[in-house]
Amino acid sequence: MMTRRVPQAGMTLTELLIAVAVGLLVMLAAVSALSAARRGASTVDASSQLRDNARFAVDILQRLAVQAGFEDLASASAPYAGSRAQYARINQIAIDDIQPGVFGFDNATPKATDPLNAATARSASDGGNGSDVLILRYQAVRAHSDPSVVSNVPDGSMINCAGNVPQEAAANRNDRIYSILSVGKSAGGEPALMCTTKSEVNGKPYISPLIAGVESFQVLYGVDNVAPGAALKPGHAASSIPTSYLRASQLTVKNDTNATYANWRRVRSLRIGMVLRGPERSAQSATLQKLFPLGSRYVSAADTGSSYTVTDARLRQTVIFTVHLRNCQNQGYQPDGSTLACDVTLPQ
């Protein structure tokens, strides 16, 4: 019985090597495409998170800023005092012992033991990029406006930077809520916008992170006819709009708290600039970035935080906005015969 021999065909070694090489190329291309897609998705996610953080930052800072200087009915309806002696009689406290509703420090962090009145200068290596400190003070609204009703319960309309409502309304003109904004390090050593406010438990200041990734926080103050480093001149008329924007240090009159506070009471608006950054490798590649938190117009050699340079693979977003203050900042001190509701002069 005869059998047919079927010829067999196979791959030569050369053909096999070529097939393996082509397969590796296809696999490499697929892996590269997948990696690029993942990097792109991570960048999109990081960019979206930056925008969300920026929107939240603007919302909370605007709300806190428009509260600055607010006084409840009992304080707001007290008679104006045109002299320091008259002010002390009406309010039982000297006008230069009451810190203004808006205050701040350049290139600093709040002092832990006295954050309302003192700050520590930043170092070049603390990661804050010359960030500033912004202090906002205001009163809670009493739920019962009828003076015959004895109640110190607030109506819940005012919050601090932690989002909490104070448990008690103001007892006197100097009894106020405070919110202090600055840049510090949160968990993992990442920079964040920090909130310092008064504890309702023990009355002491406590600090907590508010917005992650804020590596620069800069503030300029829109002032009404204030000369840098100088006291207000007698008879210098006030208006309701800012005429210039100054740094916190430019509102200080050396060795004169009375004149310094008078300058701060002429703050009409806040110009705030922030730089928010994403996580490591959120950008496609490491690049050199020159950053201007308040825009290139306000770059100053005297302000180390007005510009800085970074080189890393992080996405960043710069946010600049202006808040016009809603409330008068004179805290009940106004010259006799003044026709401007928010007039402020140097207390004599």
Give residue-wise pLDDT tens across range 320-342.
Answer: 999 999 998 988 888 777 777 78
Note the pTM of the prediction, 2 decimals: 0.87
Burial of 105 (0-12, 13-18, 19+ CB in 10 A): buried
Q: Rounded distance, CA 194 to CA 57, Å?
A: 11
Residues 300/273, Cβ–Cβ less than 8 Å: no
Half-sphere exposure of 40 (CA within 13 A, CB side): 6
Nearest to 182 by CA among 257, 127, 228: 127
Tens-level pLDDT at each residue, the chain (348 residues): 566 665 656 667 787 788 888 888 888 877 777 666 666 666 677 788 899 999 999 999 999 999 999 998 888 888 888 788 999 998 889 998 999 999 999 999 999 989 999 999 998 888 899 999 999 999 998 887 665 665 678 888 899 999 998 888 888 888 899 999 999 998 888 999 999 999 888 889 999 999 999 999 999 999 998 999 999 887 666 777 899 999 999 999 999 999 999 999 999 999 999 999 998 888 878 889 999 999 999 999 889 899 999 999 899 999 999 999 999 898 888 877 777 778 888 888
pLDDT tens digits, residue range 262-318?
999 999 999 999 999 998 888 878 889 999 999 999 999 889 899 999 999 899 999
